[in-house]
Amino acid sequence: MKPVSDKGYLQQLIDEGEHQQQDFKFEISDARKIARSLSAFANTDGGRLLIGVKDNGRIAGVRSEEEIYMIEAAARLYCQPQVDIAMHTYTVDGKTVLIAEIPKAPEKPIQAQVAPGKYMAYVRIADENILATAVHLAVWRQKNSKRGSLVEYTEREQMLLDYLAEHGEITVSKYSRLARLSYRSAVEHIARFVRFGLLEVCFEHHKFYYRLRQSEE
């Protein structure tokens, strides 16, 4: 089988457009902003950045080696813990495109520095990098914990399941009010259900909500 040329391979990727595991970057001018992309990919399903490609898919090319150093800085200096990325260059019609491959993190969260001494975690949803919620953080914390965790079926947990069966979706704030729980406790309850696959995290109209996980047929 004839190997795909650099041009053919890049065109295949570009034709996919931007999605949950791929993003186009015309240029790298801010290592901190790129760190957010690395955090989002690492905290979700992994992915790749195509640098030197415009949002419309046109190949513009990487403008200087400085951009390679900025990606390395984003991964090593502005992500906590560091992200191990793999970089490859492809040349098409005299223009160089840099592809940075970001693996899914084995232990989350990967946080990005948003200001000196301040780090925040992101997730990748469709073609956007979104700030991780308290539920995401709680799920990761519970998974990383050495202690076992059980889903208790108290009256409050049953209330959550009954409400979802009738209404289809719920937010943390709504559950907090219904169950008369503190916001923090409501986060922990929902995170346990998410962790054990009973609920799924949904994002729509710039809002996170939770619903019963749909069974796969």
Residuewise pLDDT in 10s, the chain (217 residues): 334 578 899 999 999 999 999 999 999 989 999 999 999 999 999 999 999 999 999 999 998 888 889 999 999 999 999 999 999 999 999 999 999 999 999 999 999 999 999 999 999 999 999 999 999 999 999 999 866 666 667 889 999 999 999 999 999 999 999 999 999 999 999 999 999 999 999 999 999 999 999 865 4
Strand 95-102 vs strand 47-51: parallel, antiparallel, or unpaired? antiparallel
What is the spatial distance between Cα 140 and Cα 145, in angstroms, rounded to a whole number?
9
Across the beta sheet with 79-80, what order do the strands follow?
A: 79-80, 111-115, 118-125, 128-131
Q: Please tell me the pTM assigned to this model.
A: 0.92
**The residue to which tokens 């990761």 are assigned:** 140
Residue type at position 42: A
36 phi/psi in degrees, rounded to 5: -65, -40
**The residue to which tokens 């996980």 are assigned:** 213
